[in-house]
Chains A and B, each alone.
Chain A
Amino acid sequence: MIRLSRRPAPGPLAHAGTGPPAGSVVPRRIRLISGVTVAALVLLFTVLATTSQSARTGLRIIGHGAGPQVVATAGLYFALSDMDGQIAQVLLLGKDHPERRQAALQLYDRRRGEAGRALFRASALAGDDPAQTRTTQAVLDGMGRYERLATRALQLDEQAGHQAGPPPERVLSIYRDATDLMREELLPQAYNLTLESGTNVRRVHDETRSSLAAGRAVVAVAGVLALGCLAGLQVFLARRFRRVIGPALVVATAIAAMYAFTGFGLPAREAETLLTAKRDGFDTVLSLARARAIGNGMRADQTRYLLDPQRADTYEHTYLDAAQSVLYVEAGNVREYHERMSAAAGPSGFPGFLGAALTERDGEGARAAFLAYVRFQGADATLRALPAQDRHGEAVAVRLASLGEEFDGYDARVLALSERHRAVFERAIAQGEDALADLLFLLPAAMISIAVLVVAGILPRLNEYR
């Protein structure tokens, strides 16, 4: 290759024609232009490498840190919330329904296991973030206290041997301590962990996107400069030495051009991928995780409403509050909320966690989740319409079972929707990572080959001065 370009010059060497001073001027020029070219190339590749690296870091944090953290902490919330819900269920059932009681206790044990595992995972993902570590530690401590209270309430309840309906006051007063601990300390902390992950995703997303935009601009400048220098070098050599263009430099230019174009296009594509991962994946997953977390609390609030007549109004209002944060319609009390919900035409246009996640793109899935929610609210309306004398015994057990089915149906549809967006999220992250991996894999090879080619292109010319 090199030899091809070393055809004998047609006349005397260039410097013979331009006089003695050229003997030092020409190699100096060659070296200067080469130096500038190399500098531009170094800048181009440095920026390419750093931009790709920052995109890679962004994708790693969002895709493998904060993203899974949302799933883990939302799972923690769900498990904790359901633990308390199952205890309320057991206490409400009393001695009348041993199988249902047993099933609720088993579910409690399962949720406790899930909560422990989710907490462990959340703690691992929190890494060295001190605030998150303190929070997971506080939740772990609180779980121990909660279990002691729950166990005590269960023991007293068993001793009381009451029929289905509100248990005696001494059981209730222990359960109030337990549920207050759960709802006022543990659940908010678990919830805030989920939210903090959301904050991290937003921050990293914004930072990565701006560094991608800056990288793109610098790649454009460095690319133009490098290609200009390479072309200039060739023109200079061709004129000075009256030679056909050196193939080594042509190949070097081609590789540099390829990388400059890739480097210019890639940040935009990566930014687009990140946006898709966040907007169409992560944000919806987060919103639905919150809808599920709060929704499960609603289910438990129904049980508590029946369990504790003294606090029935408090639990009814907590239920309304939760319902309004899931799907907002203006309503001063639960009955108004039910009326507005049953009159609602379709899933779009509601504020709230579920409302925000129900978009046109989800079509049938969104509609199904919405209708299941409306049915669940309908079942709640019939529960609250129960006359006081029907709030215990068989009536309440049957009611609880049917409410449970409505809720599970609704929750399954929300979960399906969430899984779909989680897949979008994971696909986008994988796509972004693959594109970067391809670029980064060949980058060192490209840099070395360009360096070799440039040297190979100019060295023979410089040698002519030896």
Chain B
Amino acid sequence: MRGDHGFGAVRTAARLTAFMTRVAVALAVLLAPACGATGPDSVAGKGTLVVGVRPDLPGLGLRLPDGTFEGFDVDVAAYLAAKLGAKVRYVAVLAADREAVLLDGRADLVLATYSITQERKKRVSFAGPYHVSYQDIMVRSGQKGIGNVRDLAGRRICAVAGSNAAERVVEERGVAAELVPATDYDQCLALLKDGALDAITTNDVILAGLAHRAGGGLRLVNARFNEQRTGVGIRKGDLDGCEALNRAITDLYQDGTAARLLHKWFDGTGLDLTSIHIPRFEGCE
């Protein structure tokens, strides 16, 4: 009998310990979110990610007649979403709306030639960059004498409404180029082909896409000025999401996917892909 009692006490003690351990675990679970940084809104851990991509840029983000999207940004978005273990849904976003769709929740991520700037970082956060590009110059294939931005002095360059690329040449570089206004890049292309323009200057991947669409007769000069870091726009303060995306971007470059996708979309456009520029991360803080 006494032995039984002793055993009973031990059993009670064991049960109590088990119970209190459960209490401890429950407490830990209750307290952890309050102290940890995992917000409920983080893109890390979402089942489906809504990604804003450009509908208007061949090679980068282009909406097809059937409503689907294709391009380098679209493929990168699919890769990153898969790395984060999420399904992906695309929405079209124009240059002017990139910030708004993040702020009002219409998109979780924006991969739409969204370059990282101090000004933008005040309102949104950026993972990446996932691609480093440069401002470049596109000329007719037979054009001689334009090798860098200085050579644009006295030349007619396209000033597209809503883009400051041409103005940057004149104002920041101090090169006296003649600005020819145009409503969009299609008009620039037409003007360049007609000889009413000497050059178009903007982001090299945009130029490469245009050259591709023009189907020959144009070339990039690979002047590579004004480095642009294209990042993944996310809601401000999503540290976990930003860090997860950066790890996915590291994989993108380490497993050769970045090189493969760049070749897939820009081979034959004149864009120099002999070496693949690995992006230096902006950091998530």
Give A contacts to B, CB under 8 Å.
24, 27-28, 31-32, 34-36, 38-40, 42-43, 46-47, 131, 134-135, 138, 180-181, 184-185, 187-189, 191-192, 195-196, 198-199, 202-203, 206-207, 209-211, 213-215, 217-218, 221-222, 225, 283, 290, 310-311, 313-314, 317-318, 321, 324, 328, 330, 332-333, 351
Encode B84-105 as 1/0 by CB contact (under 8 A) with A: 0000000000000000000000
Known interface pairs A217-B31, A221-B23, A317-B227. Does A184 touch B254 (Cβ–Cβ under 8 Å)?
A: no
Closest 9 CB pairs of A and B: A214-B28, A39-B16, A31-B9, A210-B35, A35-B13, A188-B280, A332-B172, A35-B9, A184-B277
26 CB contacts below 8 A, A to B, read A24-B1, A28-B8, A31-B6, A35-B12, A35-B13, A42-B17, A43-B17, A131-B247, A131-B250, A138-B254, A192-B280, A195-B281, A202-B243, A206-B36, A207-B36, A210-B28, A218-B23, A221-B27, A314-B134, A314-B224, A314-B227, A317-B225, A321-B227, A328-B118, A332-B168, A333-B172
Q: How far is the CB of B150 from chain A (nearest CB, A)?
A: 7
- The reply to whether B251 and A131 form a contact with Cβ atoms under 8 Å apart is yes
Known: A202-B37, A317-B226, A333-B174. 16 other contacts (CB 8 A): A28-B9, A31-B5, A32-B9, A185-B278, A192-B250, A192-B278, A192-B281, A198-B283, A198-B285, A202-B243, A217-B28, A221-B23, A313-B150, A314-B227, A317-B227, A321-B227
Q: How far is the CA of A192 from the CA of B282 in the complex (A)?
A: 9
Give every chain B residue within 8 A of A195 (Cβ-Cβ): 246, 281, 283
Give every chain B residue within 8 A of A47 (Cβ-Cβ): 24
Q: How far is the CA of A425 from the CA of B168 in the complex (A)?
A: 44
Known interface pairs A35-B10, A218-B28, A321-B227. Does A43 touch B281 (Cβ–Cβ under 8 Å)?
A: no
Known interface pairs A39-B17, A195-B283. Does A206 touch B37 (Cβ–Cβ under 8 Å)?
A: yes
Q: How far is the CA of A185 from the CA of B132 in the complex (A)?
A: 11
Give every chain B residue within 8 A of A209 (Cβ-Cβ): 35
Q: How far is the CB of A150 from chain B (nearest CB, A)?
A: 16
Q: How far is the CA of A222 from the CA of B285 in the complex (A)?
A: 38
Q: How far is the CB of A360 from chain B (nearest CB, A)?
A: 20
B32 at the interface (CB under 8 A from A): yes
Known interface pairs A210-B36, A213-B35, A324-B118. Does A32 touch B24 (Cβ–Cβ under 8 Å)?
A: no
Give every chain B residue within 8 A of A43 (Cβ-Cβ): 17, 20-21, 24
- The reply to whether B280 and A187 form a contact with Cβ atoms under 8 Å apart is yes
Residue of A nearest to B279 (CB): A188
Q: How far is the CB of A308 from chain B (nearest CB, A)?
A: 11
Q: How far is the CA of A437 from the CA of B31 in the complex (A)?
A: 26
B173 at the interface (CB under 8 A from A): yes
Give every chain A residue within 8 A of B225 (Cβ-Cβ): 313-314, 317
Looking at the complex, which one of B17, B31, B168, B223 makes contact with A210 (CB distance below 8 Å)? B31
Looking at the complex, which one of B5, B14, B173 makes contact with A27 (CB distance below 8 Å)? B5
CB contacts under 8 Å to A, within B32-51, are 32, 34-37
Q: How far is the CA of A283 from the CA of B32 in the complex (A)?
A: 23
Looking at the complex, which one of B10, B148, B239 makes contact with A313 (CB distance below 8 Å)? B148
Residue of A nearest to B239 (CB): A202
- The reply to whether A32 and B27 form a contact with Cβ atoms under 8 Å apart is no
Q: How far is the CB of A50 from chain B (nearest CB, A)?
A: 9
Q: How far is the CA of A27 from the CA of B223 in the complex (A)?
A: 92
Encode B267-281 as 1/0 by CB contact (under 8 A) with A: 000000001111111
B154 at the interface (CB under 8 A from A): no
Give every chain A residue within 8 A of B31 (Cβ-Cβ): 210, 213-214, 217
Give every chain B residue within 8 A of A221 (Cβ-Cβ): 20, 23-24, 27
Give B contacts to A, CB under 8 Å.
1-2, 5-6, 8-10, 12-14, 16-17, 20-21, 23-24, 27-28, 31-32, 34-37, 118-119, 132, 134, 147-150, 168, 171-174, 223-227, 239, 243, 246-247, 250-251, 254, 275-281, 283-285
Q: How far is the CB of A394 from chain B (nearest CB, A)?
A: 26
Residue of B nearest to A212 (CB): B35
- The reply to whether A218 and B24 form a contact with Cβ atoms under 8 Å apart is yes
Q: How far is the CA of A47 from the CA of B23 in the complex (A)?
A: 12
Known interface pairs A36-B12, A185-B275, A202-B239. Does A217 touch B27 (Cβ–Cβ under 8 Å)?
A: yes
- The reply to whether B275 and A181 form a contact with Cβ atoms under 8 Å apart is yes
Give every chain B residue within 8 A of A333 (Cβ-Cβ): 172-174
Residue of B nearest to A294 (CB): B280
Q: How far is the CB of B153 from chain A (nearest CB, A)?
A: 12
Q: How far is the CB of A319 from chain B (nearest CB, A)?
A: 11
Q: How far is the CA of A217 from the CA of B283 in the complex (A)?
A: 34
Known interface pairs A218-B27, A221-B27, A317-B227. Does A310 touch B5 (Cβ–Cβ under 8 Å)?
A: no
Give every chain B residue within 8 A of A310 (Cβ-Cβ): 147-148
Known interface pairs A35-B9, A131-B250, A317-B227. Does A191 touch B280 (Cβ–Cβ under 8 Å)?
A: yes
Known interface pairs A131-B247, A185-B275, A199-B246. Does A40 touch B227 (Cβ–Cβ under 8 Å)?
A: no
Q: How far is the CA of A189 from the CA of B239 in the complex (A)?
A: 21
Give every chain B residue within 8 A of A222 (Cβ-Cβ): 20, 24
Q: How far is the CB of B148 from chain A (nearest CB, A)?
A: 6
Residue of B nearest to A331 (CB): B172
Q: How far is the CB of A280 from chain B (nearest CB, A)?
A: 15
- The reply to whether A180 and B275 form a contact with Cβ atoms under 8 Å apart is yes
Q: How far is the CB of B145 from chain A (nearest CB, A)?
A: 14
Give every chain A residue within 8 A of B251 (Cβ-Cβ): 131
Residue of B nearest to A310 (CB): B148
Q: How far is the CA of A28 from the CA of B2 in the complex (A)?
A: 9
Q: How far is the CB of A336 from chain B (nearest CB, A)?
A: 8
- The reply to whether B36 and A189 form a contact with Cβ atoms under 8 Å apart is no
Give every chain A residue within 8 A of B280 (Cβ-Cβ): 187-188, 191-192
Residue of B nearest to A293 (CB): B280
Question: In this complex, which of B20, B275, B277 has the most chain A Cβ atoms within 10 angstroms of its Cβ?
Answer: B20
Residue of B nearest to A218 (CB): B24
- The reply to whether A40 and B247 form a contact with Cβ atoms under 8 Å apart is no
- The reply to whether B278 and A189 form a contact with Cβ atoms under 8 Å apart is yes
Residue of B nearest to A191 (CB): B280
Q: How far is the CA of A314 from the CA of B147 in the complex (A)?
A: 12
- The reply to whether A131 and B254 form a contact with Cβ atoms under 8 Å apart is yes
Question: In this complex, which of B37, B132, B171 has the most chain A Cβ atoms within 10 angstroms of its Cβ?
Answer: B37
Q: How far is the CA of A303 from the CA of B22 in the complex (A)?
A: 65
Q: How far is the CA of A203 from the CA of B285 in the complex (A)?
A: 12
Looking at the complex, which one of A24, A191, A214, A217 makes contact with B281 (CB distance below 8 Å)? A191
Residue of A nearest to B168 (CB): A332
Give every chain A residue within 8 A of B243 (Cβ-Cβ): 199, 202-203
Residue of A nearest to B173 (CB): A313
Give every chain B residue within 8 A of A35 (Cβ-Cβ): 9-10, 12-13, 16
Question: In this complex, which of A35, A203, A207 has the most chain B Cβ atoms within 10 angstroms of its Cβ?
Answer: A35
Residue of A nearest to B2 (CB): A27
Give every chain A residue within 8 A of B36 (Cβ-Cβ): 206-207, 210
Q: How far is the CA of A211 from the CA of B28 in the complex (A)?
A: 7
